[in-house]
């Protein structure tokens, strides 16, 4: 759990009596992609450091990456659905 906090550069203490203003919420939401990227990168590094392998897509191919830097090709990564750029889709929840 503590390892996931390393990627966070924002610590927010909120007073329960004061609602968040829209501007603050927007500024905090803008930080989510960078925080997620940092957390994913840390998990990737920690997994390899533990001697485990990581499955990832590289150049359209699914590969198994090991800590020593070797890549074993598993198969061509196919998209689940082909969607035109800019098209809006509906997501159903199950």
| pLDDT confidence bin for 13, thresholds 50/70/90 | low
CB 52 within 8 A of CB 44: no
| pLDDT confidence bin for 15, thresholds 50/70/90 | low
pLDDT at 94 over 80: no
What DSSP string describes 17-64? TSPPPHHHHHHHHHTHHHHHHHHHHHHHHHHHHTT--EEEEETTEEEE
pTM above 0.75, yes or no: no
Q: Each residue of 23-62: pLDDT tens digit?
A: 888 888 999 999 999 999 999 999 999 999 999 999 989 9
Q: How many CA atoms lie within 13 A of 17 on its CB side?
A: 0
């Amino acid at each position: 759990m503590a390892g996931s906090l390393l990627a966070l550069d924002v610590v927010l203490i909120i007073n329960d009596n004061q609602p968040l203003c829209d501007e603050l919420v927007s500024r905090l939401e803008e930080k989510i992609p960078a925080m997620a990227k940092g957390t994913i990168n840390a998990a990737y590094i920690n997994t390899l450091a533990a001697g485990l392998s990581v499955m990832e897509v590289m150049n359209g191919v699914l590969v198994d990456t090991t800590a020593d830097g070797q890549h074993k090709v598993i198969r061509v990564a196919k998209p689940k659905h082909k969607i035109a750029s800019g098209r809006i889709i509906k997501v159903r929840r199950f």
